[in-house]
Amino acid sequence: MRHRCSLEAHQCEDPFPRGRPIYEDASTVLYEVDGKEHTLYCQNLCLLSKLFLDQKTIYYDIGGFLFYILVVKSVVDGQLAFNFAGYFSKEKISVEHNNLACILVLPPFRGQNFGQLMIELSYELTRLEKTTGGPEQPLSSQGFHSYRSYWRRALMQALLGQSHSVEAYLQRSSRAMGAHTHKWEEKQRIFSLGRLSRLTGIRIEDVLFTLEDLGLMQFWRGRHVVCIADETIRKIASEKRIQLGQRIDHGGFLVSCDDESDESDCDDTSTVHSKLSSESPNDTASVGQEDAA
């Protein structure tokens, strides 16, 4: 700007970051901003993303969207500072159950897995709402590769019993089954596709696509099943360079979270018959398609 008065006129006196914090870990904080309450702020976010996303089309009609702002913590002159790294948005009410409409990571912060972090956070928020979802279609080429990478990692962790939600579910199932657990079931994890979808928050069609993409889905006795050893899953992860491990800190959520799944989980016809025993190479994970519809 050429004149100081122009600079002063464009200075924002409102506090930053804006909105309510819903997640915080050692290096990042996620804020939720309502597009209806902070209209101008969210419009500016959309216009900013237009500089980097050619397919961005919505700029002003943003009252029906929630915006999630990712800021990175840093220390400047001994004081804690927040740097805007990116954001993602989603519709408040989506008929197609989309949990993400737009995602942006600013160039200085790319290559640091912040995109994967925001994708994982969007699915975790979906799972906390006890529903399933996915990105708004169609996906760009870069978006497709990012989501395929997350789907692969999330589902392989679930099949290995390493997902936070799956671990909690296995513990509940073990307590519920009690003495009804047989010896042959002690080293198995059995899921229906519907349950696997609910535990990860990923839509069933995306679950099916990912399992087929990894070569884990087979057709047996009139239905699709997965029944392989843990060591085979780890081998596939190594061959395809899938880095297992969650990027988020589940203790960092500042919103109400009920880890105990709703009672409908207990009524599912396809249940986990035993608890996890990850030390044994003979552990298996099985998936059936009974309640995929």
Active site residues: 136
Residue keyed to tokens 């799956």 = 166
Tokens of 71: 């800021």
Q: Cα angle at 106 between 104 and 108, to 5 degrees? A: 155
Cα distance between residue 71 and residue 140, in whole Å:
25
SS3 258: coil
Q: What are phi and psi of 22, to 5 degrees?
A: -120, -10
Residue 5 carries which side chain, given as an amino acid letter? C
Tokens of 275: 């608890």
> Would you say 16 and 82 are in contact if contact means Cβ atoms under 8 Å apart?
yes
SS3 244: coil
Buried b (16+ CB within 10 A) or exposed e, 242-281: beeeebbeeebbeeeeeeebeeebeeeebbbbbbbeeeee
> Would you say 170 and 276 are in contact if contact means Cβ atoms under 8 Å apart?
yes
**Bond preceding residue 138 cis, omega within 30 of 0:** yes
Cα distance between residue 285 and residue 145, in whole Å:
26
